């Protein structure tokens, strides 16, 4: 599949698995899983295309595994705006985490902190390179914010790590951010 089609299918999969499954006639279970066959039919793609998107996605957004009934299932690893329980367990974070964003919104973030918006969590990166790539998706100048995750954890904030290595928090108050 050429790059443009790969990106198009990946975006459709994200919409179907993270935000609007009903638009595609899908009903995820409480953990966000749907049968692979149902997703293939909904998106009108074949298994080879799905496997290529899953394997080539630089952020490893999707997980495929056999379900308890032996039927392959798929879900997004994080970033849902629909209600799901990913079964994540709180774990201690590294001392510092990073958040890439548009430089234009930094003044508001430094006042209000990072909020999850319509998603379940704020997404954080373990390194500045990943944070830069995430921030660049928004276009324009990129800013990398440093999160004092050690202080947050000491103060009782919980952190989770998704299957693809993205760090998650409910929010990051401004007091824990440096520009």
Q: Do domains 3-76 and 96-178 have the same CATH topology?
A: no
DSSP-assigned letter for residue 31: T
Distance CA 62, CA 89 (A): 19
If you average pLDDT over each of 3-12, 98-107, 119-128, which comes out highest?
98-107
- Structure tokens given for 147: 């999160």
Question: What is the band of 140 on the pLDDT scale with cuts at 50, 70, 90?
Answer: confident
Mean pLDDT (whole number) for 138-149: 92
Residue 126 near residue 165, CB atoms below 8 Å: yes
For the chain, the residue count is 179
Give the least confident one: 129-133, 136-140, 155-159.
136-140
Its CATH class, for the domain covering 3-76, is mainly alpha
Distance CA 7, CA 68 (A): 30
Q: How many other C-beta atoms can be found within 10 angstroms of the C-beta atom of residue 13?
A: 24
Domain positions in the chain: 3-76, 96-178
Its CATH class, for the domain covering 96-178, is alpha beta
pLDDT digits (tens, 9 = 90+) for 14-58: 999 999 999 999 999 999 999 999 999 999 999 999 999 998 876
Q: What is the pLDDT of residue 175?
A: 97
Distance CA 41, CA 93 (A): 39
Q: Which residues contact 72 (CB under 8 A, 6 or more apart)?
A: 35, 36, 37, 64, 65, 66
């Amino acid at each position: 599949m050429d790059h443009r089609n790969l990106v198009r299918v990946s975006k459709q999969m994200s919409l179907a698995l993270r935000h609007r499954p009903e638009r595609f006639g899908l009903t995820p279970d409480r953990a966000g899983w749907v049968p692979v066959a149902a997703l293939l039919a909904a998106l009108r793609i074949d298994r080879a295309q799905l496997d290529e998107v899953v394997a080539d996605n630089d952020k490893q957004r999707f997980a495929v595994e056999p379900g308890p009934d032996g039927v392959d299932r798929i879900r997004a690893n994080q970033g849902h705006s629909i209600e799901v329980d990913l079964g994540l367990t709180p774990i201690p974070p590294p001392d510092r985490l990073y958040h890439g964003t548009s430089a234009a919104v930094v003044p508001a973030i430094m006042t209000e902190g990072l909020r999850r918006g319509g998603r379940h969590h704020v997404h954080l990166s373990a390194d500045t390179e990943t944070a830069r790539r995430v921030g660049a998706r928004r276009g324009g100048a990129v800013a990398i914010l440093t999160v004092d995750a050690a202080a947050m954890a000491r103060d009782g904030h919980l952190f989770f790590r998704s299957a693809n290595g993205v760090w998650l928090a409910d929010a990051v108050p401004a007091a824990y951010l440096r520009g």
